[in-house]
Amino acid sequence: MSFNSSGREAGGFAPSRRRFVQGLALGGAAASLGLWSKPVWALKSPGQTQVLSGTEFDLVIGETPMNFTGQTRTAITVNGSIPAPLLRWKEGTTVNLRVSNALPAGSIHGHETSIHWHGILLPANMDGVPGLSFAGIHRGETYHYRFTVQQGGTYWYHSHSGFQEQAGLYGPLVIDPLEPEPFSYDRDYVVMLSDWTDLNPAHLFSRLKKVPGFDNYYKRTVGDFVGDVGEDGLKTTLADRKMWGQMRMTPTDLSDVNAHTYTYLMNGTTALGNWTGLFRSGEKVRLRFINGSAMTYFDVRIPGLKMTVVAADGQYVHPVTVDEFRIAVAETYDVIVEPSGQDAFTIFAQDSGRTGYVSGTLAVREGLRAPVPAVDPRPILTMADMGMDHGSMGHGGMDMAGGSKGMEGGCGANMAGMSHGQARSATSSASSPHAGHDMAAAQSAMAGMDHGGMQTHPASETRNPLVDNQAMTPTSRLDDPGNGLRDNGRTALTYAMLRSAFDDPDGREPGREIELHLTGHMERFAWGFNGQKFSDVEPIRLNYGERLRIVLVNDTMMTHPIHLHGMWSDVEDDQGNFLVRKHTVDMPPGSKRSYRVRADALGSWAYHCHLLYHMEAGMMREVRVDE
């Protein structure tokens, strides 16, 4: 084959179309993503997805009928499967990946495609982001990705074209390291979590723009009000309702899309399909969890088993043993478990909004199941979750302690520090001088407040109709497992528990600092950085070789997983010390987190929220590294 300078193959091709229908009960092409660490890689069980290893790969992107819900829909697949084939590389080798676009004419998923190698260090023109790093792969063309593998660990790959990732174009990636790993295990499994919708993803995006609360079936009712009055008293309950009303928000809006629209998958099968990983009692089993979903945070546990986390985002961490962990979209966690004492254990992954789950099984033989736990009680957001818990700061205001319905243990908050002057009303005219400000409520709420030490905000957020909230005293929340995981009787992982098994790889203090605010308007489904959409801003420019600090402030009531392409994000602790190296940094509501970046990759790179529809709605920037 001949290739031009961009890597695109000259001419077209006529690949055969592999048709595959995935049933609910059988689990389909991805019934097992199991790997032996020694002496062979793959457990060859019936229906296993493809495992491709070596340095030469041919990947064909096309359409395939799939059935996860009883309705057959057209998915976008790689070599005919969901997930895409498991790719096995070795650190230090040069891989050649020929990716061909076999999408049919008139496809609802478009005529262009791409693959982004998530978390992989490589040249910018190999990164796979159309419009930034290359021109995309058009129908009938093949793009030749070629680069040297510079790392080991657990990663994944997915499309960066339109909504193709939601439609099935994602797959696991395992890289064998050059040096021996600092832990041992007997079996090795990938557990890839994802979300599927029978809707055309473009139609789902359109629905979010028109009715962003479509999936929020849990708005508080008169009955909830009466119950809260009985438990907390009338004054506290009225104050709580008033605060949320002034912000034009609802504390039940935990996720934009949930199980009312989504079917959750584990290695490409539903809970009924019961993906199963085999073990012998007493063996150490490595589970490589990958969140390849478009919009879903999962809380993962294996009842009856402790999980020892040994790697985060492909990078070794000092082992930490937990009962449960929350995995943000695009993150990966490697854990070691030692199943014994019973024949089967349930791998249980519930969505963070507690609307649904997917489960699989670790078992001594195929066909076994363990009891599946009930989904936990549904949490709601509190003022503390919004970066507005200032009871410890001595501010005056209305004490909201006890007003955290659905939250284990409760969480105190008060009015001080709330930026009601930034609350927006969706019914207000954007052309108004105050662009939706509820000024009377704002003046009342802000009266007598002590503003010392509050967070400052970019001028671009002021009177901005695309900004409905500002966190006035955000904290890192590194030691917070997240809403719904606090005080639930289980030990849940936090970022503060994650410590890389190596020192700061750069060692230099940052030479400068860039602060960015994550902003949005819930009722308009508008998202961005500093109140600005991707289409309205210039690139963030970095100097090649510099060490800088990025500070993120989440002004929204949603959680955002932020991914910087091409470079590592070295998360700092509250004292500014190196904590853990990641490629995706989770940002809970009302949080402020910082990380160091070494600008060691020339070119243009995507920087965005990895919630697919937030990125498409504007929460994305271009980062340009120049000499």
The percent of residues above 90 in pLDDT, for the chain, comes to: 70
Measured over all CA atoms, what is the biggest interatomic distance in the chain, rounded to whole angstroms? 75
- The pLDDT value recorded for residue 235 is 61
- The pLDDT value recorded for residue 251 is 55
- The pLDDT value recorded for residue 215 is 64
- Cα–Cα dist 545/114, whole Å: 28
Q: Is the pLDDT of residue 525 over 70?
A: yes
Query: Could you tell me the two tokens for 581?
Result: 């190296």
Query: Could you tell me the two tokens for 600?
Result: 């060691």
Q: Is the pLDDT of residue 490 over 60?
A: yes
CB atoms under 10 Å from CB of 626, counted, come to 12
Query: What is the tens place of the pLDDT at every residue in 149-206?
Result: 999 999 999 999 999 999 999 999 999 999 999 999 999 999 999 999 999 999 999 9
Residue 584 makes CB contacts below 8 A (sequence gap 6+) with 119, 313, 328, 329, 330, 331, 561, 562, 563, 569, 610
Burial category of 525 from C-beta neighbours within 10 Å (exposed 0-12, middle 13-18, buried 19 and up): buried
CB neighbour burial string for 459-492, b if at least 16 within 10 angstroms, e if fewer: ebbebbbbbbbbbbbbbbbbebbbbbbbebeebb
Of 613, 616, 554, 555, residue with least CA distance to 585: 554
Q: Is the pLDDT of residue 472 over 80?
A: yes
- The pLDDT value recorded for residue 285 is 97
Q: Is the pLDDT of residue 14 over 70?
A: no
Continuous H helices in 583-624 = 612-616
Query: What is the tens place of the pLDDT at every residue in 448-470?
Result: 333 446 899 999 999 999 999 89
The residue written with tokens 């503003």 in the block is: 451
Q: Which SS3 state, helix, strand or coil, does residue 442 take?
A: helix
Q: Is the pLDDT of residue 514 over 50?
A: yes
All structural domains of the chain, each given as residue ranges with its CATH number in brackets, are 43-183 (2.60.40.420), 495-626 (2.60.40.420)
Handedness of CA 66, 209, 456, 567 (dihedral sign): positive
Query: Could you tell me the two tokens for 370?
Result: 């363990």
Over the chain, what is the mean pLDDT? 82
- The pLDDT value recorded for residue 434 is 34
Strands 187-196 and 263-266: antiparallel
Query: Could you tell me the two tokens for 563?
Result: 């991914």
The identity of residue 92, as a single letter, is: G
Torsion over CA of 350, 354, 356 and 359, rounded to 10 degrees? 20
CB neighbour burial string for 103-125, b if at least 16 within 10 angstroms, e if fewer: beeebebbbbbbbbbbbbbbebb
Tell me what the mean pLDDT of segment 323-336 comes to.
Answer: 98
Q: Is the pLDDT of residue 476 over 60?
A: yes
Helix axes 222-232, 234-246, angle to 10 degrees: 130
- The pLDDT value recorded for residue 245 is 54
Task: Give the pLDDT band of residue 255 (cuts 50, 70, 90).
Answer: confident
The identity of residue 64, as a single letter, is: T
H/E segment holding residue 231: helix 222-232
Question: Over the Cα atoms of the chain, what is R_g?
Answer: 24
**How far from chain centre, in Å, is Cα 179?**
29
292, 573 Cβ separation under 8 angstroms = no
Tell me what the mean pLDDT of segment 288-292 comes to.
Answer: 98
Tell me what the mean pLDDT of segment 535-543 comes to.
Answer: 96
- Cα–Cα dist 311/582, whole Å: 10
- Cα–Cα dist 560/552, whole Å: 11
- Cα–Cα dist 541/553, whole Å: 20
Tell me what the mean pLDDT of segment 85-113 comes to.
Answer: 96
- Cα–Cα dist 604/607, whole Å: 10
Q: Which SS3 state, helix, strand or coil, does residue 613 take?
A: helix
Burial category of 328 from C-beta neighbours within 10 Å (exposed 0-12, middle 13-18, buried 19 and up): buried
- Cα–Cα dist 586/353, whole Å: 16
Query: What is the tens place of the pLDDT at every residue in 347-392?
Result: 999 999 999 999 999 999 999 999 999 999 988 777 666 656 544 3
Query: Could you tell me the two tokens for 400?
Result: 């909201």
Write the DSSP assignment of 3-59 as a string of letters: B-TTSBBSS------------TTT-GGGS--EEESSS-SB---TTPPPEEESSEEEE
Query: What is the tens place of the pLDDT at every residue in 384-412?
Result: 666 565 443 333 222 222 233 332 333 33
